Amino acid sequence: MNDFLWEGRAPTIPLVDLIEGARSFFWELPMPEETGYWGMAYRWTSPLAVEAEASRRGEGIVVTLTFSAKAITACSRCLAPTPLAIEGKVRYFYSLRGDDHGEVEFDEDQIIHLDRSQREIDLTAPIQESLILSLPAAVLCREDCRGLCPCCGFNLNQGKCACPADTIDPRLEAFRELEGLRDEEDSPKGGN
């Protein structure tokens, strides 16, 4: 997560601005060239747009973050570059008392305790965490992506490969010796 360095541009909310009512803040934050997560590489093609709405509630502040960015990553089946829109919305309660003050609508990880001497709320860590958690573990270039032939590696979205129809996926070769589990017609075959 230390890929996101917003030096001099850290998204902060001055506490003096939150006397009453709700205030909105907006940032367009630069993204690193690439972020690795879930074993995938996400190449960013846009800055991260973040909107924060903050309002006082008793002895705390409720902050709602809405964010969006665009990236490109490899399809999980065929490895083709796939555009992706990353969007999310999260809420946090910043407690000025040192406890959650009865905020039952927030989970424990959504409550952040502020020191009374703080003059601003730094949103860097919550934005980074929320962005990373919104990245998908698998991305498909299209819903019916056929992937790659397990024998020759041909992209099956582009047509059929030259592998014979009776070729079995080499990872399943050990199952050939097991008898009685399937009828011959039901056996998985290569040759796409």
Supply the Cα-derived Rg of the chain in whole angstroms: 25
Nearest to 135 by CA among 36, 64, 46, 5: 36
DSSP 52-117: EEEEEETTEEEEEEEEEEEEEEE-TTT--EEEEEEEEEEEEEEESSSS-TT-TTS-GGGEEEPPTT
Can you give the pLDDT of all 192 residues of the chain as single tens digits? 445 666 557 788 887 767 777 888 999 999 888 988 878 899 999 999 999 999 888 778 889 999 999 999 999 999 999 999 999 999 988 887 765 555 557 777 777 777 777 788 888 888 988 999 899 989 999 999 999 988 888 999 999 988 887 767 667 777 777 765 555 555 445 555
What is the model's pTM? Answer: 0.74
CB 119 within 8 A of CB 58: no
Q: Nearest 5 degrees, angle CA 31-CA 34-CA 37? A: 110
Q: Where are the domains of the chain?
A: 12-133, 146-192
CA dihedral 23, 29, 34, 40 (to 10 degrees): 10
- Residue 82's identity, in one-letter code, is T
CA-nearest of 24, 83, 72, 26 to 49 is: 26
Write out the two tokens for 183. Answer: 């009828």
